Structure 1
Amino acid sequence: MSLSAAFLDELRARTLLSALIGRTVKLQRAGREFRACCPFHNEKTPSFYVNDEKGFYHCFGCSAHGDAIRWMTDQRGLPFIDAVKELAAAAGMEVPAPDPRAAEKAERADTLHGVMTEAQRWFTEQLGGIAGAGARAYLDRRGVSEATCRTFGLGFAPDSRGKLRAALATAGDPLLIEGGLLIAVEDKEPYDRFRDRLMIPIRDQRGRVIAFGGRIIGQGEPKYLNSPDTPLFDKGRTLYNLDKAGAAARKAGRIVVVEGYMDVIALAQAGFGEAVAPLGTALTEAQLERLWRMSEVPILCFDGDSAGQKAAIRAAQRALPLLAPGRSLAFLTLPAGQDPDDLIRAGGAAAFEALLARPEALVDRLWRHALEDGELATPEQRAGLRRRLADMAAAIGDTDVRQQYQAEFRERFEARFLTRRRDAGPRGAPNGPGNPARPFARGFTRPASTAARGIGATGIDRVLAKSVAAGLLRFPTEITRHMEALAGLEFHDPAIARLMAALVEVAITDQTLDNGRLSTILATSEYNDVAHELLRADSLPFSFTRKDAEPEKARVDLDEAIQVMVSRPEVDAALHAATGRLQARFDDETFAEQQRLLGLRGDVERRLANLMQGGEDGREFEGE
């Protein structure tokens, strides 16, 4: 039945939500709202709120949310139209007469639902009969209990071409064909689609049987056979067990995607009711959207074999264009040769729970796949890796998320390969004609370009420069690692500029520099007062400027700060050049380059802001 938005809005307005929910839930007044322990998940402290003015309920514990109609469908389990009719009767409203064509379609769907329900009932009877002995033996071997069989409505299709057709003869062949239960062949009698198979009902979100999956019991192919797409069943939009997993997912705070029906059933029997499965195909965009409505980070659990890992990466790549803040994926990789049932049998539910506690993030899964997708011994092969990473990041639709992945991939690549090349060189050797500049990587910063030095005096933040100088005074061993970049910078504060030059000069002549030796050298120089002033400063907003900072974290933050200090003028120089070209002549390529550089500039600013959050009291710092 098709109902107008105006009618539904009027129905909601006439329904006092607190009175409706208060029939079954004990509500307490909380200001202008009501609160209670949530009826959708177990809790001791009330986090379920009802707001009559806005006409909705919301649970801050499990995120259950909805209006009066949603309450009737989710909590009472009514079909949508039945919920509307009951609310309309209570509100003194008359439900509009349905459109004839819509009514015919709805009636046909209701009839199909009835046929599917009858088929499921018949299959269940066959499982308990003589013909179902083989299927029962299979379930026994899999450890599926009778209670679980009843919960999931399992059944059996006998090895016959016409027994189901005969049992449901009153429905007529056309309806059975439309529901996918019979196969129609030109000029021949229709025959049963499912034969000698364990029958697994597939339900929609409201719990109605809409299709079946059949697992072969004897010999034959395919191992699993699904219903075809029908007016009730769209394989690419349906997830097995979605009707039962919703409430369990809210309670557990997660949704787990496994490969097949029996994985879902085994997990549910072990206490993991929040599992769903696609229906013999890779996850589709529509299925991902459904999963994200239930959890921000669905957990995909695939077998450790080659097929399982291919399925995992296909899902990851399909999700990339859809990623957004609060929408990602995580992955579990099962031991080779094991499915969830094997794992639980070997180690109990605790073994699977232990895996769930440490899923692999999407960015880690993509990085691992890119590394494993080819040899990395030559420059050309490493260039191929960079291209694969760039292509994956470029597929992400959301701009902010895409830029974060680009930055993350770039940092990982540089840390893995450029740092290795740096470490392979002579230890402690200063740069010079015979020892060229080391590459840019975490822990070592390349010198600024000529263009960057040209705007460096205005591009380097004064507070950042003072803080880096203070950090180098506290950790003088870091000076040698960054002296190329430090020597190439121009600071607009003359005192800081002279101090930095002196520190680099000292480091070149004495590469075993420590705090004691540096203090001795500074004590006899003109820079002693400036150095002591920086070390006494308590307003600098970085971890590496504090006396009580944890040394390892302070060194890491100092490395990052130097990279930011160098890269900021670099980006500004490139952005200035691109903007100048764009002003002279607009073209799409230059505009795209300018936008990319603006994104990089924002990334540098965020890196700086993250460093400042590590400063004393986490306060913001405006600069001088």
Structure 2
Amino acid sequence: MAGISDEDIQKVRDANDVVAVIGERVPVKQKGRDFWCCCPLHQEKTPSFKIDPSTQLWHCFGCGEGGDVFSFIMKTEDMTFPEAVRRLAERAHIDIVEAGGRGSVPASRKARLKDICARTAEFYHTQLMRGRGAEADAARSYLASRGFGGKVPGKWCLGFAPGRGALVRHLSSLGFKADEMVAANVALDGRGALRDRFYNRVMFPIFDVSGDCIAFGGRVIGTGEPKYLNSQETPLFHKSQVLYGLDHAKAAMAATGVAIVVEGYTDVIALHEAGIENAVATLGTALTMRHIRVLSRHASKRIVYLFDGDAAGQRAADRALAFIDKSMTPEAGRSQVDLVAVTLPDNLDPAEFVQARGSDALRELVDDAKPLLEYGIDRRLASHNLDSAEGRARALDDCLAVLAPIKESILAKDYAVRLAGRLRLRENDVLEALAAKEPPRFQGRDDEEAAAAPPPRAKRALSRAERNRLRFEREFLSLAAQHPLVALAHADTLAQIQWHEEVHRLLADSILATLAENPAAAGVDIVTRATLVTPHAPRVLTGGLQREGAEPEAVGAYLAEELALGDAEEAIGTLTAQLAGGVAPEEAELLHAAIATLQMDVASRRVAHRAVQHS
């Protein structure tokens, strides 16, 4: 794949045993040669999650998900395939080299970029604490006015960026090269002259969860635009995943089970200094589902979204409703996200609120935060005139849009019943309106996730015969993926079958392509490569039924013949329909002969096939 070589992917997979990786998340127990556990992706009391150490594949017979070790990380931590590879590379202390993508660098060079960021943070902090001149004095005055004096600058490594090339000269004296400074986004290369990216700003270093400096945010001193300037995306820094203050907050999150999300650097610092140490902030972006997944690893009970009372805060509150999805329903089981929300009164931000009313008052607000669904419905109802029939109709449509992404859940239906009472409408009418309401296409996803998501598919009613056909296709593909010798023996069938699902055709092509490139490829290699073709690959290719004592080769031969017979019967149907549509006498004679020959062939093969089935 682009970015990470196949060799590095193999190296990472070999170093991360799937049983060990899953065992770090949930208790696993060996039964025979396989391992079993309760699925971490949905709620269950009886283990239905099987891990096969010989193939390094897993499958949950409860929810239908499955895959390899990369798929497990992708699904449990809401990551892309490259992100999962990187995460497991870090787990195994493997240095991978990325190439072919914008801004991609060898993992070993990332340590160099982190060193640049660390030295930059030290330089800025020194300038704040010891720098001379009116601009440095203004930076210190600003922080003092926010109550950030004493030990606060040292604890948060706050700094001052003087600009005028001071940072570039300092880093150059330490032996860092121009391209490294640009890659770390602390310097800009304009017309051949390297210059500092940040100029005359109070600096807030941004640390990852491990405490390594990876980026910066700077607030202008006095007037100027932009008021806040953040680092751009770099090999170290991806703003849709990073939260300011998480390195400080993770311990308190683990202890309380609660995470508080605010909007600014100073809000985080003010809350921590007031004793509320489980607060973090997004970095110039709305809260994303990736942020939520990151927080869920540290806060086991709930995530509180704390909105400013001003207009900007209310716009952020409306955007937050986009994160309502099935992960917030009881049906999500162990992966359920308890996301609640509260708006601060009197147009205050968190820093102003704790300064004016104290930390206990803020804790009371947080404790009384409403579930995001209730919060969103209350906000929508408040924006309509409920005294008129027209206003109630508009309010109903507006509120059902909040519930639409989870309309099949018991939770949504419960809220719909409550909504009927508040709008003085019949419960059945509201429930019917909810069932008919279509959710936004990419509900709760950021732009990157939306671009990668497949378009929604229309549901279609399937006959019993069609359901059986699709089941046979899935079983054959699963068997071929997990037992490559079966795939090689039936390569012609894989290539010639008239697949009834487009995703099945994609998977067959992927299996053949992998084996054509490497006939000795293992099953886990086939699944990994297929995952890059379609996100549906893991659940299909690991979901085959288990036949106790059956030889894979025999099962493969049976399934291949079943599918081939199905295709032959469809061909007879096509020819019969063509004949019934009216053709010339000469052509009709040929069609009759062809149909008769095919019917005789299929009949004899069916007899032999049934004999194999019952043997």
Are the equivalent residues in 2 in contact too, given 1:390–1:406 (CA < 8 A)? no
2:306 counterpart of 1:298: no
Are the equivalent residues in 2 in contact too, given 1:197–1:215 (CA < 8 A)? yes
- Map of 2:284 onto structure 1: 280
How far the C-alpha of 1:274 sits from its partner, in A, is: 0.7
- Map of 1:177 onto structure 2: 182
CA distance in 2, matches of 1:398, 1:113: 45
CA distance in 2, matches of 1:100, 1:365: 43
* Structure 2: runs of 5 or more not aligned: 1-7, 24-86, 331-335, 436-457, 463-615
Q: Deviations over 1:489-523 (max 9, x none)?
A: xxxxxxxxxxxxxxxxxxxxxxxxxxxxxxxxxxx
Please, which of 316, 324, 348 is the counterpart of residue 358 of structure 2?
Answer: 348
Please, which of 345, 367, 380 is the counterpart of residue 335 of structure 1?
Answer: 345
After TM superposition, the structure 1 = structure 2 runs for residues 21-420 of structure 1, keeping only pairs within 5 Å, are: 105-129=106-130, 130-131=132-133, 132-158=136-162, 160-169=163-172, 170-185=175-190, 187-295=191-299, 296-320=301-325, 322-325=327-330, 326-394=336-404, 396-397=405-406, 399-400=408-409, 403-412=410-419, 414-418=420-424
CA distance in 1, matches of 2:262, 2:90: 33
Are the equivalent residues in 2 in contact too, given 1:127–1:155 (CA < 8 A)? yes
CA distance in 2, matches of 1:144, 1:156: 14
For 2:106, what is the secondary structure of its paired residue?
A: helix
How far the C-alpha of 1:293 sits from its partner, in A, is: 2.6
How far the C-alpha of 1:350 sits from its partner, in A, is: 1.4
**Segments ≥4 residues shifted beyond 4 Å:** 10-13, 79-85, 97-104, 588-592
CA distance in 1, matches of 2:182, 2:317: 35
Q: 285-294 vs 270-279, which deviates more?
A: 285-294
Are the equivalent residues in 2 in contact too, given 1:321–1:398 (CA < 8 A)? no
Q: 300-309 vs 383-392, which deviates more?
A: 383-392
**1:7/1:210 CA distance change after superposition, 3 Å:** same
One-letter code aligned to 1:320:
D
One-letter code aligned to 1:211:
A
For 1:200, what is the secondary structure of its paired residue?
A: strand
CA distance in 1, matches of 2:422, 2:164: 61
How far the C-alpha of 1:81 sits from its partner, in A, is: 8.0
CA distance in 1, matches of 2:292, 2:90: 29
- Map of 1:4 onto structure 2: 12
- Map of 1:45 onto structure 2: none
For 1:244, what is the secondary structure of its paired residue?
A: helix
CA distance in 1, matches of 2:392, 2:123: 60
How far the C-alpha of 1:157 sits from its partner, in A, is: 0.3
CA distance in 2, matches of 1:369, 1:163: 49
How far the C-alpha of 1:256 sits from its partner, in A, is: 0.3
One-letter code aligned to 1:341:
A
CA distance in 1, matches of 2:260, 2:217: 20
**1:182/1:376 CA distance change after superposition, 3 Å:** same
CA distance in 2, matches of 1:404, 1:83: 38
**1:217/1:123 CA distance change after superposition, 3 Å:** same
CA distance in 1, matches of 2:414, 2:20: 47
For 2:400, what is the secondary structure of its paired residue?
A: helix
Q: Deviations over 1:6-47 (max 9, x none)?
A: 43449979x9xxxxxxxxxxxxxxxxxxxxxxxxxxxxxxxx
After TM superposition, the structure 1 = structure 2 runs for residues 533-548 of structure 1, keeping only pairs within 5 Å, are: none
Work out which structure has the larger RCO, using CA pairs closer than 8 Å and 6 or more positions apart in sequence.
Answer: 2
Q: Deviations over 1:300-346 (max 9, x none)?
A: 11111121111012112234364333313111211223222222222
How far the C-alpha of 1:4 sits from its partner, in A, is: 3.2
CA distance in 2, matches of 1:123, 1:399: 53
Are the equivalent residues in 2 in contact too, given 1:213–1:224 (CA < 8 A)? yes
CA distance in 2, matches of 1:98, 1:238: 22
CA distance in 2, matches of 1:329, 1:98: 36
Q: How many residues are treated as equivalent by the alignment?
A: 354
Give TM-score scaled by structure 2 length. 0.52
For 1:168, what is the secondary structure of its paired residue?
A: helix
Q: Deviations over 1:409-429 (max 9, x none)?
A: 3332x32232xxxxxxxxxxx
- Map of 1:508 onto structure 2: none
Fraction of identical pairs, as percent: 32
CA distance in 2, matches of 1:415, 1:7: 57
CA distance in 2, matches of 1:98, 1:306: 45
How far the C-alpha of 1:167 sits from its partner, in A, is: 1.1
CA distance in 1, matches of 2:229, 2:391: 42
For 1:235, what is the secondary structure of its paired residue?
A: coil
The structure with the larger Rg is: 1
CA distance in 1, matches of 2:310, 2:99: 50
**1:327/1:133 CA distance change after superposition, 3 Å:** same
* Structure 1: runs of 5 or more not aligned: 16-78, 86-94, 419-438, 442-566, 575-587, 593-624
One-letter code aligned to 1:391:
A
**1:172/1:221 CA distance change after superposition, 3 Å:** same
Are the equivalent residues in 2 in contact too, given 1:235–1:279 (CA < 8 A)? yes
Q: Deviations over 1:352-376 (max 9, x none)?
A: 1221221122122111121133333
How far the C-alpha of 1:233 sits from its partner, in A, is: 0.6
CA distance in 2, matches of 1:235, 1:7: 29
CA distance in 1, matches of 2:460, 2:389: 29
CA distance in 2, matches of 1:101, 1:178: 15
One-letter code aligned to 2:168:
R
Are the equivalent residues in 2 in contact too, given 1:320–1:392 (CA < 8 A)? no
CA distance in 1, matches of 2:289, 2:96: 32
One-letter code aligned to 2:115:
G
For 2:347, what is the secondary structure of its paired residue?
A: coil
Q: Deviations over 1:87-117 (max 9, x none)?
A: xxxxxxxx8x977979970121111111111
**1:416/1:257 CA distance change after superposition, 3 Å:** same
One-letter code aligned to 2:395:
L
- Map of 2:69 onto structure 1: none
How far the C-alpha of 1:225 sits from its partner, in A, is: 0.6
Are the equivalent residues in 2 in contact too, given 1:258–1:302 (CA < 8 A)? yes
RMSD: 3.6
One-letter code aligned to 1:146:
G
CA distance in 1, matches of 2:150, 2:365: 28
Give TM-score scaled by structure 1 length. 0.51
For 2:302, what is the secondary structure of its paired residue?
A: coil
After TM superposition, the structure 1 = structure 2 runs for residues 500-539 of structure 1, keeping only pairs within 5 Å, are: none
For 1:133, what is the secondary structure of its paired residue?
A: helix
After TM superposition, the structure 1 = structure 2 runs for residues 415-430 of structure 1, keeping only pairs within 5 Å, are: 415-418=421-424
- Map of 1:21 onto structure 2: none
CA distance in 1, matches of 2:407, 2:211: 35
